[in-house]
Amino acid sequence: MSALASGSTAMGQATAAGPSYTAPTTVDDVIAAMATGSRVVAGGTDLVVGSRQGRWPVPEHLVAIHRVNSLRGIRPVVDGGLWLGATATHGEIAEDATIRERYTALADASSIVGSRATRNVGTLGGNIANASPAAETSGPLMCFGATCMLESRNGRRELPLDELFSGPGRTVAAMDELLVSVSLPAQPAGTGSCYARLEYRRQMEIAVVGATAVVTLDGGQITAARVAITSLAPTVRRVPEAEAALIGSTGDRAAAERAGEAAAAASLPIDDVRAAADYRRAMAAVITRRVVQAAVDRARGETVSIPASASLHGAL
Amino acid sequence: MTMTTEPRTAPVVRLDGREKVTGVGRYAADMTLTGLLHGRFRFADIGHARIKRIDTTRAKALPGVVAVITEADVPDVQYGLFIKDRRLFAKGVVRWEGEVVAAVAALTPEIAKRAVELIEIDYEPLPVITDIEAALAPGAPLIHENWESYWQDEKLVRSGNEASRSTIVKGDTAAALASADLVVKGRYVAAGSQAAPIEPRAILAEWRSDRVQIWSSTQVPFAARSLVSETLGLPENKIRVTVPHLGGGFGAKCEGHFEPQVAALARAARRPVKVVFSRRDEFLAPDHRREGMIVEVESGVMRDGTIVARRAQVLTENGAYSADEPLITILAAIFSTGPYNVPNVDITGRCAYTNTQPSGSVRAPGAPQAAWALEQHMDEIAKALDMDPVDLRRKNLLRNGDLSPTSQVMSEIRAVETLDKAAELIGWGQPLPDDEGIGIACAWWPSFPMATSAFVKINVDGSPTIITGAQECGTGAVMTLPILAGEILGIDPSEFSLVYQDTESGPWDGGAGGSQTLFNNGRAVADAAMDVRRQLLKLAADELEAAEDDIELADGRARVKGSPDRFVTIAALADKTQGTQLLVGKGSGEVPPTPASDTSACTGRLGAESFAAPTFGTHAVRVKVDRDTGVVRVLKVVAAHDSGYIVNKVGAAGQVTGGVVMGLGQALTEGTQISGEGRVRNAHLLDYKLQTMADVPDISVWFTDTAVSDAGPKGSKGVGEPPCIPTPGAVANAIAAATGARVRELPATPGRIWSALREGQA
Amino acid sequence: MKYSATLRVNGFSYPVTIEPQRTLLSVLRDDLELTGSKEGCDDSECGACMVLLDGEPVNSCSYLALQTLGREITTVEGLSTNGDLSPLQKAFLEAGGVQCGFCTPGMLISATALLARNPRPDDEEIKASLSGNLCRCTGYTPILAAVRSAVEMTAG
């Protein structure tokens, strides 16, 4: 996980000469270190990898957060929602029984991040703070209405996840703000969800196109729907037109196709080494359609294995 | 994996295995030396430019920097296999982004990296050509302005950006095409790809007075030594190249690579230097990536499926400098007709300079792409004739007595057996779900006879040692040598020690390339073992008072046939010889002949006139295609090979499964992407996608396992390279069978399959 | 500044003095001279550097060395005990799971972690668990066979 990326202040404050490292056990100590310019490191799977690729140096001043107990864990909260500490790993999320049952799309996402080794140390907080337009967990979190808690010496603030991202690799969090936790509200009964991505290989992929759907069925009709697209715009984003296309429908294939078309229309795909823009746009429709159908199936209580990606590619 | 032929001997655990599973085996990057400095290259970092100025002042001034060198610091020597068109360091012009311009030696890798960035280079950009056909177009800017001044192999035909031009001509193709019932044409475009061994290369050099010791992750230590000798002006006996364990090569570590630059750097620094490539370096700088290729082919066929003529043009991508690509182009031209009996052939091979990484041998160089093109073309012929693709191949496959494109007479070949077995094991013709398809492809490949020598010695305690110049690049070819010597000496293979991959210890060898290691070194080791066997029999005859003919070697003993109680141990014989006679055998064996051929109508030939001990193979692949996304999953592969006798069953099967999976990658996910400015866009493993374990299907391996004459030890042929040849073509045919859409670009990415499906609907 | 610390590797305590930016891989290889863990890429794609951190596989090339304080690291050098190969190491040798050997340390680490959490994995689980380790030589087939064989040896 990287330090919380920032669009505001480019440079940390001056500190004592030479590199520094602390590994405190409390949030107070972490934010104190951040206040003097230290950057956060958790699993290193973005921060250190980025440095090895020459994208940035490993920051000179580091505060490691893996020893902070209060940043760990996944816990139900009283109103039926879920609290996830910033250092919850993808491995923990993928295997958490509550997430697999009630926030299935998030389990879909975390279970396909990198390899098992990456999932062992890669954290939810890092995945969010790095603000990649290809981040697997962002779509599911957004669709579940996640909020994130930021904390600095100036206090705490909570903001919806879809207000956090300001561009590729950029967030509205200040340099000295620590992402402490993520909260997911309770989902209504009859909710099903799915995240999937296009996968050239069966493992070790990155989202070239990804989509999330969270739908609530009541009496055979979709009463609530949330759809997000991944790797199809500068940030992971919701697609209100796709959601509108689903509400009131039975979640049949025609509705799923309309949602897919809306997702394609809302995408701003790029041509790059991974795919051509026209292919990406077409896949936005296909993958969105499939995750909607899988979410509907799950809402009906049918089993779609986790991760969904593996089974959605033409039931391969 | 299904092994359909049972091993006839117990599998042998490789002698280097224990070191490798315990982590104590040393690879070049693992080594350190007293006083070791860390070296780094400054690469051109631009596609094509004139060098206006190089200033190393700031780099040299950085504390911790010991040496910075450029072309001015080494002899002005041009080198190259067929065209001497390059230097150790760029002089005047850089022609691809990975060209070495300067080198730095410093106390730490970090300082070396900073110093490299402090070298100032002013460039005047020149036009960049990355496209093969653009490079060959009339009036294209020249990539080598002074091309005419370079030394070249006298047989090479070239002009400007055309680095080589060669033809294969047999019969009267024009007339045969005119009289054919049907002419089928196709054009196929393959991207370049990468060998991508998991070990990025590393090189260390240490001078000892006027001699230099080099440790290098090379497949060819003797060729590396020769390049150091040629470029730095040293006799070969002042240069020692030693290879620690080698972490794979697949051709990318063939030919001399960077050993001279590191040696020159160590000499300038007066301290030993180590250069370790990053993965990015390994993608950009070696002059051995698999070439991009354009194949245009037309075939004249009769209604009954008989192919009467084939005309083809094969364009290959040489890259910025010429390694062995002109010869590979000749091979690709042969493979563009496939292992088929075609009486009239007219093929032109042209190799084009481009401002890209130089191409060079990668596992079965030139063959997978040419076979991929031709085998798709075969299926397109079958479709045009409404004929079963297996029947079409069976009708035209080379049989004993048939003539190759260069009029070599086929003998003792079993191509048709491999086709029939592959079709049988894949279940050819069975009903399949709508989204599945089976594709099939055939291929052939030569063995490469060459001279080599070996020693086998029996130490004073009776323990045996093989001394060879051979190079082990992971295939297990060197590890198989004790099986051959052990049989001759009656000693268990596990009791041997091996001295190998060191130019100072073993006789010259061609190295780990051309699937030649076991083919040639096996012969030499067997010959050396026979030599020492004769010595042992003579000693034993005296000891046992029996005739030599009546003595056999078994279980570490010499014993009288039929009287197992009358024996003497080899250890006792070795002990007896101390001070009087050394038990050392040496051998080379007779190099098998290369078959006669007729290339009198051909031009621009550099070799590969005929194929010694040719191998044949057929792969059949079953795929499932997601029609909405173009994503392909491979469900099953059958690989049937005529590789002669199989000496090491486990080792040979491992070559086949490895080759198949490399072929799956080339077919589907691997392909170097280059921008118009000549910059590689996917020089990292996330976007240059090797197949993972999860992608690998069940692979059935089948060998004819039949000895042939004029071949390698015990009637064997080369096995390392052929398994990667037919896979891409079989996959492409399977995709077409599943979808009805044909992708004539390699790799068949989901985006390309999706586009082909859309065009098919239009 | 540099930090003095003690790393626990393969049951031994190693004192080191290192900059905080150093990766675990570089400290293992350059300071401890445990070179069994390999560097094969720069984007955590190949898995040649994999080690166990408290029993779970981690790409040591992208993990900071100082973050391992107080935790147990196992490298390929620590997989055999008193010179006895582990069942997986034996199976890799016998099934032809080792060719060039460069991916072998990471493969063994992944496989060791897999069998520790599930002594009887099926083929799909083996494939998924080892897919973060790239091999260019074997085509994975003999490695899969080796893990199956180790399962038979140990799970009975």
Question: Chain C residues with CB-CB distance to A under 8 A?
Answer: 1, 3, 19-21, 23, 42-45, 47, 50, 53, 56-59, 61-64, 66-67, 69, 110, 113, 127-129, 131-133
| Confidence (pLDDT) at A180 | 97
Judged by CB atoms closer than 8 Å, whether chains meet at A200 and B749 is answered as: yes
CB spacing of C131 vs A115 below 8 angstroms: yes
Q: Assess whether C95 and C149 both reside in one domain.
A: yes
B21 with C130: Cβ contact below 8 A: no
Contact criterion met (CB < 8 Å) for C40 and B690: no
Please choose, from the candidates A111, A113, A21, the residue with its C-alpha nearest in 3D space to the C-alpha of residue A67: A21
Quick one: C149 and C109 in the same domain? yes
> What is the C-alpha to C-alpha distance for residues B306 and B315, in angstroms, rounded to an integer?
27
Which residue out of A20, A39, A46, A48 would a mutagenesis test of the C interface target, given it has the greatest number of C Cβ atoms within 10 Å? A48
Smallest CA–CA separation between B131 and chain A, in Å? 18
Under an 8 A CB cutoff, do C99 and B476 touch?
yes
**Which of B673, B694, B751 lies nearest to residue A202, judging by beta carbons?**
B694
pLDDT at position B5 is 39
Question: Whole-angstrom Cα distance, residue B395 to residue B169?
Answer: 22
Eight-state DSSP code of residue A14: P
Is a pLDDT exceeding 80 seen at residue A314?
no
Q: Do A279 and B754 touch (CB under 8 A)?
A: yes
- Would you state the structure tokens that stand for residue C78, as one six-digit string? 């620590």
The residues with which B182 forms a beta bridge, in sequence order, are B301
- Per CATH, B293-449+596-761 and B454-587 having the same topology is answered yes
Architecture of domain A69-184: 2-Layer Sandwich (3.30)
In chain A, residues with a C-beta closer than 8 Å to the C-beta of C50 are 117
Domain ends where: C78, C98, C124? C78
How far apart CA B485 and CA B476 sit, in angstroms, is 15
pLDDT digits (tens, 9 = 90+) for B448-470: 999 999 999 999 999 999 999 99
pLDDT averaged over chain B? 96
Q: Which residues of A touch B631 (CB under 8 A)?
A: 198-200, 313-314, 316
The helix/strand/coil state of A218 is: strand
- Among B126, B93, B121, B100, smallest CA distance to B287 is for B100
Strands B344-353 and B307-319: parallel
Mark which of C34, C49, C78 sits at the end of a domain.
Answer: C78
The domain boundary, picked from C48, C78, C108, lies at: C78
Contact B694 A203 (CB under 8 A): yes
Residues in Cβ contact with C127 at an 8 Å cutoff, skipping those fewer than 6 apart: A203, B693, B694, B696, C140, C144
Residue A10, pLDDT above cutoff 60: no
The single-letter DSSP state of residue A99 is H
Q: Are A181 and A149 in contact (CB under 8 A)?
A: yes
Domain shared by C71 and C7, yes or no: yes
Q: How high is the pLDDT of residue A225?
A: 98
Tell me if C136 and B198 make a contact (CB, 8 A cut-off).
yes
Which domain CATH number covers C109? Answer: 1.10.150.120
- Name which of B629, B692, B749 is nearest A286 (Cβ-Cβ): B629
Q: How confident is the model at residue A8 (pLDDT cuts 50, 70, 90)?
A: very low
> Tell me: the pLDDT tens digits for A22-52?
999 999 999 999 999 999 999 999 888 888 8
Look at A64 and C64 and tell me if their CB atoms are within 8 Å. Answer: yes
> CB of A305 within 8 Å of any CB in chain C?
no
Mean pLDDT of the B143-162 span: 97
Phi, psi for B446 (deg, rounded to 5) = -80, 160
C64 contact residues in A (CB cutoff 8 A): 41, 44, 48, 58, 62, 64
Q: What is the pLDDT of residues A116-155, one digit of tens each?
A: 999 999 999 999 999 999 999 999 999 999 999 999 999 9
| Nearest CB neighbour to B624, from listed A273, A279, A316 | A316
Look at residue A54 in the predicted model and tell me its pLDDT.
84
Residues of A within 8 A of B755 (CB-CB) are 279
CATH number, domain with residue C12: 3.10.20.30
| Rg, chain B, Cα only | 27
Q: Which amino acid is at A205?
A: E
If asked whether residues C97 and C64 sit together in one domain, one would say: no
Residues C91 and C74 in one domain: no
What Å distances lie between residue B370 and A210, B168, B189, B295, CA to CA? Answer: 36, 15, 10, 7
Q: How far apart are CA B221 and CA B199, in angstroms?
A: 17
Angle at which helices C87-94 and C141-155 cross, to 10° = 140
User: According to the model, what pLDDT value does residue B760 have?
Assistant: 77
Query: CA of B699: which chain C residue's CA is closest?
Result: C141
- In 3D, which of B88, A189, A114 has the Cα closest to residue C133? A114
**What distance in Å separates residue C1's CA from the closest CA in chain B?**
16
Out of B626, B695, B751, whose CB is closest to A279? B751
Cross-chain CB nearest to B22 (options C45, C89, C131) = C89
Q: Which of A53, A200, A309 best probes binding to B when mutated, by most B CB atoms within 10 angstroms?
A: A200
Question: What was the pLDDT predicted at B579?
Answer: 73
What φ, ψ does residue A225 adopt, rounded to 5°?
A: -150, 140
Question: Is there a single domain that holds both residue C93 and residue C70?
Answer: no
Please tell me the predicted confidence (pLDDT) of residue A14.
Answer: 36
Q: Which residues of A touch C105 (CB under 8 A)?
A: none
In chain A, what are the domain boundaries?
A: 69-184, 191-307
Name subunits touching C (3+ CB pairs < 8 A). Answer: A, B
At a CB cut-off of 8 Å and minimum separation 6, what does A294 contact? A192, A194, A196, A213, A304, A308, A312
The answer to whether residues C107 and C55 belong to one domain is no
CB contact under 8 A, A114 and C61: no
pLDDT tier at A11, thresholds 50, 70, 90: very low
Strand order in the sheet with C56-59: C12-18, C3-9, C72-74, C50-53, C56-59
The answer to whether the beta carbons of residues C121 and C146 sit under 8 Å apart is: no
Region of residue A75 (phi > 0: left; psi between -120 and 50: alpha; otherwise: beta): beta
| Interchain CB distance below 8 Å, A48 and C57 | no
What is the domain class of B454-587 according to CATH? alpha beta
The CATH label, of 3.40.50.1400, 3.30.420.40, 3.30.500.10, 3.30.390.50, for the domain at A191-307 is 3.30.390.50
Our CA-based measurement puts residue C156 at a distance from the nearest CA of chain B, in whole angstroms, of 22
Residues C74 and C15 in one domain: yes
Q: Which residue has the tokens 């044409």?
A: B185
Say if CB A3 and CB A59 are below 8 A apart. yes
Distances from the Cα of A247 to the Cα of A131, A185, A226, A255, angstroms: 29, 20, 9, 9
CB nearest B669 (choices: A198, A200, A206):
A200
Q: Quick check: helix, strand or coil at residue C116?
A: helix
All structural domains of chain B with their residue ranges: 28-126+198-248+254-284, 293-449+596-761, 454-587
B-C C-beta contacts closer than 8 Å = 182
Q: Taking residues B604-611, what's their average pLDDT? A: 92
Q: Work out the pLDDT band at B2, boundaries 50, 70, 90.
A: very low
Task: State which CATH number among 3.30.70.1400, 3.30.420.40, 3.60.15.10, 3.30.365.10 fits the domain covering B293-449+596-761.
Answer: 3.30.365.10
Cα distance between residue A80 and residue A92, in whole Å: 20
Q: What pLDDT is attached to residue B435?
A: 95
CA triple B340-B341-B346, angle to 5 deg: 90
CB B469 within 8 A of CB B541: no
Same-domain status, C66 and C110:
no
Query: Residue B563: how many CA atoms within 13 Å on its side-chain side?
Result: 9
| Cross-chain CB nearest to A200 (options B280, B435, B750) | B750
Nearest chain B residue to C135 by CA distance is: B198
- Angle between helical axes of B649-668 and B727-739 (0-180°, round to 10): 50
Q: pLDDT for B520-573, tens place per residue?
A: 999 999 999 999 999 999 999 999 999 999 999 999 999 999 998 999 999 999
Structure tokens at A230: 């991944």
ipTM: 0.98
Total H helices, total E strands in chain C = 5, 5
Nearest C-alpha in B relative to C143: B693
Please determine, looking at this structure, whether the domain spanning B28-126+198-248+254-284 carries the CATH number 3.40.50.720.
Answer: no
| DSSP H or E stretch at residue B528 | helix B522-544
CB-neighbour burial class of residue B490 (10 A; exposed 0-12, middle 13-18, buried 19+): middle
The predicted pLDDT at position A313 comes to 67
Task: Report pLDDT for B125.
Answer: 98
Residue A304 sits at the chain B interface (C-beta within 8 Å): no
Of A19, A20, A52, the CB nearest to C61: A52
pTM: 0.96
* Residue A53 touches partner B, C-beta closer than 8 Å: yes
DSSP characters for C33-93? --TTS----SSS-S-TTEEEETTEEEEGGGSBGGGGTTSEEE-GGGSSBTTBPPHHHHHHH
- Report the phi/psi class of residue B198: left, alpha or beta, with left for phi > 0 and alpha for psi in -120 to 50: alpha
- Parent domain of C16: 3-78
- The whole-angstrom distance between B204's CA and the closest CA on chain A is 23
pLDDT tens-digit readout, B358-405: 999 999 999 999 999 999 999 999 999 999 999 999 999 999 999 999
pLDDT reported for residue C1:
81
Which pair of structure tokens corresponds to residue B40? 């780094």
B-chain CB neighbours of C77 within 8 Å are 22-24
Q: B473 to chain C: which residues are within 8 Å by CB?
A: 100
Tell whether A60 lies on the interface with C, counting CB pairs under 8 A.
yes
Instruction: For residues C51-57, give the mean pLDDT.
Output: 98
| CB-based contact, A206 to chain B, within 8 Å | yes
Cβ atoms of B186 and B680 within 8 Å: the answer is: no
Residues C50, C110 contacting (CB under 8 angstroms): yes
Task: Yes or no: say if A247 and B661 are a contact pair by the CB < 8 Å rule.
Answer: no
* Alpha-carbon distances, residue A289 vs A210, A259, B324, B439, B532 (angstroms): 11, 7, 50, 31, 73
Answer yes or no: is pLDDT of B225 > 80.
yes
- Shortest distance between the Cα of A205 and any Cα of chain C, in A, equals 10
How far does the CA of residue A200 sit from the closest CA of chain B (Å)?
6
pLDDT, one tens digit per residue, over B661-700 is: 999 999 999 999 999 999 999 999 999 999 999 999 999 9
Quick check: C38 and B200 CB within 8 A? no
Among A279, A287, A290, which would you mutate to test the B interface (most chain B Cβ atoms within 10 Å of its Cβ)?
A279
Q: Read off the tokens for C128.
A: 């998924």
C101 and C151 in a single domain? The answer is yes
Region B262-272 average pLDDT: 98
